[in-house]
Structure 1
C-alpha cells in the first residue's frame, strides 16, 4: 500500500513538472539583438517635411499581418508604434511583448526603417520594417 502511494505521488509530480515546462521564450529574459556595425543613423537622418501621423502598409507575414504607424514632429520621427501584429497564440504574444518596444525605440533612434533585428522575432521584424518604410515615405522622406 505504501509503495503504491509513493509511486502515485512520484508520477503526479513528474506529470506536473512536464506539463508546466514552457518551450517558448519568456518575456522576462533580456532580448538578444544582432548589432549593425558602425551605424549611427540619427546623425545623418534626413528631416521629414511633413508633421503628423502616418500609417505604413499592412504587411502579411507567415504568422499574420504587421502594420506600423509613425508620428512625426519637428521633422523627426517622434513615435513609432505597431498597429497590427501576429497574435494567434501565446507564443506570438510573448514574442511581440518583448520585440515591439525594442523595434519602436529603434525606429525612433534610427530615424529610418534600418532597425536592428530582434532575435526570436524575425518575421515580426521583417513585417515591421516593410511597413515602416511606406510610413516614412508618406511623411515625405
Structure 2
C-alpha cells in the first residue's frame, strides 16, 4: 500500500513539474533587458521612410562569439517583407557553411512569424542569437 502512495505522489509531482515547465522554442536575445548575455549589441538602429508604406530599418550590430551580425529589415506598413543580412560571421570556411544554411532558415521564419520570436537554428546558435538580436532592434526602431 505504501508503494502505491509513493508512486502516485511521484507521478503527480512529475505532472505538476511538466505542466509548469516553459516551452523551449524561443531563444534569449543577447543585449535584451532580461539580464546577462553572451553577446553585446553595439550601434543603434537606423531607419528610412515612414510607418506607412515601404520603408527599411537597419538593426543594431550584435557581436557574437564568432563575429558580428547585422540586418536590414524592409517593411510594407508594419508587415516585414524582406530581411537582408549586412554583417555575418565569416572568418572561416565553417562560418560560411553554417551561415549559408542558417540565414535563409532564419529569414524564412522571420517572414512567417512577423516578429523576432523565432526558433534558433541547430548548429548555428551564436548566429541565431545575433540575428534575433539585430532583428529585435530593427523592430523596436520601426515602432
Match of 2:141 in 1: 138
Structure 1 segments of 4+ aligned residues over 2 angstroms from their partners: 48-51
Tell whether the 8 Å contact from 1:54 to 1:135 is kept in structure 2 after alignment: yes
Give 1:88 shift.
0.3
Give 1:69 shift.
1.1
Identify which of structures 1 and 2 has the higher relative contact order when contacts are C-alpha pairs closer than 8 Å and 6+ apart: 1
Task: Give unpaired runs (5+ residues) of structure 2.
Answer: 1-23, 27-49
For 1:107, what is the secondary structure of its paired residue? Answer: helix
Give the number of the structure whose alpha-carbon radius of gyration is greater: 1
What is the RMSD computed on CA atoms of the aligned residues? 1.9
Number of positions where the alignment pairs a residue of Structure 1 with one of Structure 2 = 96
Range with bigger deviation, 76-85 or 48-57: 48-57
Per the normalisation by structure 1, the TM-score is 0.63
Match of 1:36 among 21, 25, 29: 25
Structure with bigger strand share is 2
Residue-by-residue CA offset, 1:99-123 (whole Å, 9 max, x unaligned): 0000011111111111111000000
1:87 aligns with 2:118: no
For 1:112, what is the secondary structure of its paired residue? Answer: coil
Match of 1:97 in 2: 100
